[in-house]
Amino acid sequence: MRKLGIWIDQKEANLITLTKKSVQSKIIYSEIETRIREEGEKKQFGRFGDQYMVDEKGKENRIKEYTNKFLQKIVKELAGADEILLFGPAQMKFKLEKIITDTPDLALKLKATNTSGNMTHNQKLAYVRDFYKIS
């Protein structure tokens, strides 16, 4: 029985897999950058003072694309799990939850989606063990 806990935020996902004999941990990093200035963005003096001319739509599309790539990397890792727990501080867990619930094979495996703060690695391990009641 493979029980999987996923702590996720915008920067990374920690996948913690519990089996009867072992505990495995894997980190998947995202490539999402929300505060980047593109080449060609320039400061202009306008009617309302100094302003940056920004390609907002392009940035939004890039963030969506990188978010989808990040979440799809995680979904590929879920195939062998029997039970799935999602937790973390950010909204990213709800985006992953939506993908999981829209996938018939995975929807039945999702046990909970919980909000938690930032944690150390050991706290994440303890959180998953406590959830699945494994010592």
Domains of the chain plus CATH, in order, are: 3-132 (3.30.420.60)
Q: Is residue 62 very low, low, confident or very high in pLDDT (cuts 50, 70, 90)?
A: confident
pLDDT at 31 over 80: yes
Q: Mean of the per-residue pLDDT values for the chain?
A: 86
pLDDT at 84 over 90: yes
Q: Provide the pLDDT for residue 8.
A: 94
In DSSP notation, the chain reads: --EEEEEE-SSEEEEEEE-SS-EEEEEEE----SS---TT--EEEETTEEEE---HHHHHHHHHHHHHHHHHHHHHHTTT-SEEEEEESSTHHHHHHHHHHTSHHHHTTEEEEEE-----HHHHHHHHHHHHT--
**Can you give the pTM of this predicted structure?**
0.81
Q: Provide the pLDDT for residue 59.
A: 81
